[in-house]
Amino acid sequence: MSVSWWVWAVLMLAVAAMLAVDLFLHRDNHVIGFREAAIWSGIWIAAGLLFGVILWVWQGGEVAGTYYAGYLIEKALSIDNVFIFALIFTYFAVPAAFQHKVLFWGVIGALVFRLVFIIVGAELLEAFFWTAYVFGVFLIYTGYQMAFRHGGQTPPDQNPVVRLVRRLIPTDPRYHGDRFFTRINGKRVATLLFVVLIAVEATDLIFAMDSVATILAITTSTFIVWTANAFAILGLRSLYFCLAGLLRRFVHLHYGLAALLTFAGVKLILSETPVGKLPIPVTLGVIVATLTVSIVWSLHSTRGTTTDATDAGDRAVSASTDRPEQFTTPQRGAR
């Protein structure tokens, strides 16, 4: 699918406008409750679905179906991102009022990372047929890891990127309001909130490789792949605040996501064989069926479990009173 430069320009301006509105409405760093998160999640989902309708009118049902398949996969994988974000925020005891700011800038970084990966990945798939096998095997292996090694994440502060940043940039292991940088004794240093942002960005960098490779298994159209990623990611912040307190209910979701990654890997490999690309209706059917089964299975297994959709903020706030001493040292010399 070939798209003119002005279409890209309009799309980028629309995304920038939506991000600007979101930033303006949350400029006071207030704690986001479940109701507000649910409303914004509905708005972002409606925007993503509406864009698919626009594609349907503009380019036809096949293109729109391809977009919806990519959007659904990215939205599903975003739930796994939410698990990791909850881990990072709890680990670093991030005050609930500052979590939205971290996620906001994290989303901007995610959009940039994905655009780079999409351009490179699409070009490789178009230029070298054997890269489909490489990406396919990578997705199948990732699916295996997700299914059988779920929950074995590295502690956020041990992430190699976080450790490198702490080594290269002078860092104060404390929070200084919502600032990423501050001055202590006349020296500009990064705050703990900046370390959290780097942890989120580094984690999303890994997720970006999985999600982009998965959607490239459906289409190599840069425009479709990026828009599917973008509209799914734009609602990631609201999704976090909406689902963070319900994550304990999705105990089997990772099996469904693992199955989708494996399916995408097999689909990508088959695309370079006499079998060819699977029809979009088949792909959409597999995605919807897999997600439905894993979610229903999870909810059935955890029925009767008490949950609170606002727990994410409460946990982070309560954790701040129990965090290690290096996180609570008085802020001497800060200004």
Q: In sequence order, what DSSP letters do the residues of 118-166 get, joined into one string? A: HHHHHHHHHH-TTHHHHHHHHHHHHHHHHHHSTT-PPPGGG-HHHHHHH
Whole-angstrom CA distances from 258 to 82, 147, 262, 270, 301 are 16, 5, 6, 18, 19
What is the identity of the amino acid at 53?
A: V
Does some domain include residue 167? Answer: yes
Query: What element of type H or E holds 181?
Result: strand 181-184
Does some domain include residue 184? Answer: yes
What confidence category does residue 310 fall into, taking pLDDT thresholds of 50, 70 and 90? very low
In 3D, which of 146, 94, 179 has the Cα closest to residue 257?
A: 146
In 3D, which of 206, 214, 207, 212 has the Cα closest to residue 263?
A: 214
What confidence category does residue 127 fall into, taking pLDDT thresholds of 50, 70 and 90? confident
Residue 53 predicted with pLDDT over 90: yes
Residue 131 predicted with pLDDT over 50: yes
**Alpha-carbon dihedral angle through residues 34, 36, 37, 43, given to the nearest 10 degrees:** 140
Does some domain include residue 240? Answer: yes
Q: CB within 8 A of 65, min separation 6: which ones? A: 280, 281, 284
Average pLDDT of the chain, as a whole number: 80
DSSP state of 31: P
Does some domain include residue 6? Answer: no
What confidence category does residue 141 fall into, taking pLDDT thresholds of 50, 70 and 90? confident
As for how many domains the chain has, the answer is 1
What confidence category does residue 245 fall into, taking pLDDT thresholds of 50, 70 and 90? low
The pLDDT value given to residue 224: 92
Range of the domain at 74: 32-301
Average of pLDDT values for 20-30?
Answer: 75
What confidence category does residue 51 fall into, taking pLDDT thresholds of 50, 70 and 90? very high
- Chain centroid, CA 99 distance in Å: 15
Does some domain include residue 327? Answer: no
% of the chain surpassing 90 pLDDT: 13
Angle between helices 5-25 and 222-234 (to 10 degrees): 10
pLDDT tens, 257-302?
888 888 888 888 888 888 877 787 888 888 889 888 988 998 888 8
Average of pLDDT values for 231-257?
Answer: 79
The pLDDT value given to residue 129: 75
Q: Does the predicted TM-score (pTM) go above 0.75?
A: no
Does some domain include residue 3? Answer: no
What confidence category does residue 71 fall into, taking pLDDT thresholds of 50, 70 and 90? very high
Q: Choose from 63-77, 84-98, 264-278 the range with maximum mean pLDDT.
A: 63-77
Does some domain include residue 273? Answer: yes
What confidence category does residue 189 fall into, taking pLDDT thresholds of 50, 70 and 90? very high
Residue 321 predicted with pLDDT over 60: no
Q: CB within 8 A of 201, min separation 6: which ones? A: 106, 109, 110, 113, 161
The pLDDT value given to residue 4: 86
Does some domain include residue 94? Answer: yes
